[in-house]
Chains A and B, each alone.
Chain A
Amino acid sequence: MNRNGRFWRSSDGGRKSPAGSSNAGNENGSGTSGLSAVLDETLDNIRNELGNSPDLKIRHVLLPGMVPVKAAAVHFSELANSDSVNQFVIGSLLEVSVDNFRDGKGGSTNLPDYILNRALEIGQASRMEVWNDALLALLSGETLILLDGYSAVISCETTGGEWRAVGEPSSQLVVRGPKDSFVESVATNVSLIRRRIKSSKLRLEYMKIGSVTQTYVALMYIQDTVDDKLLAEVKLRLNRIKIDAVLESGYIEELIQDKTFTPFPTIYNTERPDSAVANLLEGRVVLIVDGTPFILVLPAVFTQFFQSSDDYAQRFDISLLMRIIRYISFIVLMLGPAVYIALTTYHYEMIPTTLLISLLAQRENVPFPAFVEALLMEGAIEILREAGVRMPRAVGQTVSVVGALILGQAVVEAGIITPVMVIVVALTGIASFAIPAYNMSIAGRLIRFVFLFLAGMFGFFGITLGMIVLVAHMNSLRSFGIPYLSPIVPPSLKSRKDTILRLPLWAKGASKSRHTTRVSVPSGKKITSGHEENLSPKIPEEHAETTGPMEGRDQHE
């Protein structure tokens, strides 16, 4: 529950047990105390602490010699890889002779050190003295070697268990480009990134978040490319998190983002390693959370959510067109029904006369005003979409047939909705899928309803004012100190070549701009406050201890 429950280690050595940590505070009986030197007592303590769990396996070994020493190897059968436990831990133990140690051949004065240095045939092992560290190591799938008469234990890296294999991404598809996707295991995800950047500058740091779940969070960045202020701020915000459980990267996202009350995502997430790598090369920080294939990329600006990694695999001309189409579809998604309502209710003089006549002829049989019509249809399409996400695969056909029939034809024939409204609503529905980032299209869907109301009540006046407020709101957003509309406002011509549009790689400087532009925090800005001075950053400095937003979550869990 406190800061000690987490630790920082700059390790390039991959996944490792918390050897370097001072202690792991977990307010129960034994706490941070040392381990007992009596083997049976320690084993009893472990059993009691874990509630006599049946998957806790204890293997007793007798180390032979003039004065034999009793030893035990403890591991969880479901978490550890039984092959490596049997072969390397227990196998090595059986070959240890206490006499060799007594002879001084091992060069150690201490039996645990001797075993660690001379006997174990395993890649990673460390010595532990503190109860909580040992327990955490055990719960992470490592094997503990306990020796009678010594209070130190040896923890061996035997983590195993089942993970999903690397597969194709399910939410961010491309036509051309790598087909691998992140998985739930943080180790695999790190390897997917490391394989793509063979640079010594690539840095990896681990930390654990969640006082109960102790979830591994890996922080990756490229030294010298990343802004130091950004990095320090990310670490600071991660350290401030107080939460019991982290089950998805969304938890972390919500707790470290700059501002709470906005529909717009200010942290990018992806399940594509190539996208993560491209962002790393641009100087961004990547957070990988154990247990989810969705990694976080920060800071994120608005235009980033309209980029897809196959923009860079295709020729620039078609990519340019596709990007423009994505922006247009976002506008259609937000404003489509609103503009239609405004036109038909307030400003019908703008519609060409012949079209207006046919529109009015359609409307003749419909009892509702256009606003109610749009609200009904938009509501229906949201229901359909939600049903489509949740429904079991087997009934998928039914939903799509019923949905298409009801929404497409029956409503029109029954005289509830005009056909044009069906077209408009269908268009916004399709447009929402044209945006590569799902969380950005959610934002658009929410904002669409606001504009619907504004247009229904005030026509184009409402829409224009809504647009001004929306743009002002987006201008007030910051993602880790970077203005959200960054390359557009405040304008920076250099980075605009790639972020908004996609210019060919041979265009002057474009080849650089994709991969070496630093995301730099504007000088003179405090990153901590989201923007100027009104914003309460997600975690205020001192008051957070009592009334932080995490408090509610704690109770919720």
Chain B
Amino acid sequence: MNKGSVKIGLFEIFTLTLLFELGTALVVNLGMESGKDAWLSILIGDCIGLFVFVGYAFLYRRYPKLSLTGYTRKLLGKYIGAVVAVLYVILFMNLAGRDLRDGSTMLVMATMHRTPLFIISVLMILSCAYVLHKGVEVLARTSLIFGVIVLSIGIFCTILLVLSGSIDINHLLPMLENGIQPVLSSVVHQNFMFPFGEMISFTMLMPYLSNRKKGPWVIGATMFLSGLLLSFTMALNISVLGADIAKRSPLPLMPTISKISISDFIQRVDILVVMVLIIGVFFKMAVFFAAALVGLSELFNLPYRKMVYPVSLIILFTSMLDARSFTEHLQEGGKLLYTVYPVFMLLFPAILILLSFIRGHRSPPRSG
């Protein structure tokens, strides 16, 4: 891709990050391992995620014109770097595929009971491919409009929930009933990677930022904000449904929202949640997809556009073949979250930061 022409503005990166973070996480029962303290574990995960992101931002500051795969090859050398870069591309494709499977299955569960999973996935990946065919800039600009839509749906639903009087704060109490241990275990197993560690994919897009100085700050602030929103949503779910139902429901936001009923006129607005789900899954997958595409086109010097359809095919089949059932898919995802992903999201970046420090000190002294 031609870096000179593609520019992502601050507003756009704000909404893109927001939609990416909220993505699927808004709808699923995030951090429910810790019971009614799920909101707390999300907040802790958010803080850890921010800390990790500081590392990514540091690398970006060092090499503002290079993407992750770019400086990997610079720091690790031509061959090892290329291998690691290929691994990252595979990671992004895998994440996109998993996300597609998540989204499609949740849609089938939520509304489209009789539509085949494959058809839904195909439609989703095709529209994603179309948008990315138009370019990353178009993706970011599109996210601006849908970010506003998602936020207004959120505000609307919250107001309606409050007005219909289904919120019971007592469901959240007592805090830390079983001590801090379940919260920490949930953080370790899930929350520090999902969804905040996935910000690694933004390292592929950050070279396109129009404002190099403020860009990382905006992304960080958005991460924090979306952590707050996620935690708030989870608290809302628990306070409406109670920890027990929220824990058992695969998509706790749906039953929460369906509690809205105002004088028998506005009721069952859960279609709005489905819309938020579709938008979130779409943008999350699109970011992974774009990250994979940018990596591929940089690695092999291929034109970005030619890769869109082959890669979308790979993602589609990854999503279809990765598990036989949704349960297996979730099981697998849970394992990946604390075994494989940390290697890519923590270990490699940490090595890169170390190397860049060493390089920085050993590099020949500047004149003057």
Question: Which residue numbers of A lie inside 8 Å of B, CB to CB?
Answer: 346-347, 349-350, 352-353, 458-462, 464-466, 468-469, 471-473, 475-476, 483, 485, 488-491, 524-526, 531-534
Question: Chain B: which residue is nearest A466 at the CB level?
Answer: B127
A475, B127: Cα distance in complex, Å: 14
Residues from chain B with Cβ under 8 Å of A349 in the complex: 268, 270
Residues from chain A with Cβ under 8 Å of B1 in the complex: 533
A490, B278: Cα distance in complex, Å: 23
User: 1/0 per residue B1-30: CB within 8 Å of A?
Assistant: 110111101011000000000000000000
CB distance from A499 to the nearest CB of B (A): 15
CB distance from B271 to the nearest CB of A (A): 5
- Given A489-B142, A489-B144, list of 10 further CB < 8 A pairs? A350-B270, A352-B264, A460-B274, A465-B127, A468-B127, A468-B279, A469-B127, A476-B134, A485-B141, A534-B134
Instruction: Out of A461, A472, A473, A526, name the residue touching B278 (CB < 8 Å).
Output: A461
> By the criterion CB–CB under 8 Å, are B12 and A475 in contact?
no
Residues from chain B with Cβ under 8 Å of A475 in the complex: 134, 138, 141-142
A194, B62: Cα distance in complex, Å: 57
Known contacts A461-B123, A472-B139: A533-B5 contact under CB 8 Å: yes
Residues from chain A with Cβ under 8 Å of B11 in the complex: 490-491
Residues from chain A with Cβ under 8 Å of B265 in the complex: 352
> By the criterion CB–CB under 8 Å, are A488 and B134 in contact?
no
Residues from chain B with Cβ under 8 Å of A489 in the complex: 12, 141-142, 144-145
A469, B131: Cα distance in complex, Å: 6
Instruction: Out of B6, B111, B124, B131, name the residue touching A347 (CB < 8 Å).
Output: B111
Question: Chain B: which residue is nearest A483 at the CB level?
Answer: B141
Instruction: List 9 tightest A-B contacts by C-beta distance, closest first.
Output: A476-B134, A472-B131, A475-B141, A472-B142, A464-B278, A532-B135, A489-B141, A475-B138, A465-B127
Instruction: Out of A464, A471, A532, name the residue touching B142 (CB < 8 Å).
Output: A471
A491, B148: Cα distance in complex, Å: 12
Question: Chain A: which residue is nearest B142 at the CB level?
Answer: A472
| 16 contacts across the A-B interface (CB closer than 8 A) | A459-B112, A460-B274, A461-B111, A461-B123, A461-B274, A469-B131, A472-B130, A472-B134, A485-B145, A490-B11, A490-B12, A532-B2, A532-B134, A532-B138, A533-B305, A534-B135
> By the criterion CB–CB under 8 Å, are B275 and A350 in contact?
no
Residues from chain A with Cβ under 8 Å of B5 in the complex: 524-526, 532-533
A465, B269: Cα distance in complex, Å: 19
Q: CB of B146 within 8 A of chain A?
A: yes
Residues from chain A with Cβ under 8 Å of B279 in the complex: 464, 468
A257, B5: Cα distance in complex, Å: 21
Instruction: Out of B264, B275, B305, name the residue touching A464 (CB < 8 Å).
Output: B275
Residues from chain B with Cβ under 8 Å of A476 in the complex: 134-135, 138
A485, B141: Cα distance in complex, Å: 9
Instruction: Out of B135, B139, B268, name the residue touching A531 (CB < 8 Å).
Output: B135
Residues from chain A with Cβ under 8 Å of B142 in the complex: 468, 471-472, 475, 489
Q: CB of B301 within 8 A of chain A?
A: no
Residues from chain A with Cβ under 8 Å of B4 in the complex: 524
Residues from chain A with Cβ under 8 Å of B99 in the complex: none
A472, B137: Cα distance in complex, Å: 10
A462, B274: Cα distance in complex, Å: 12
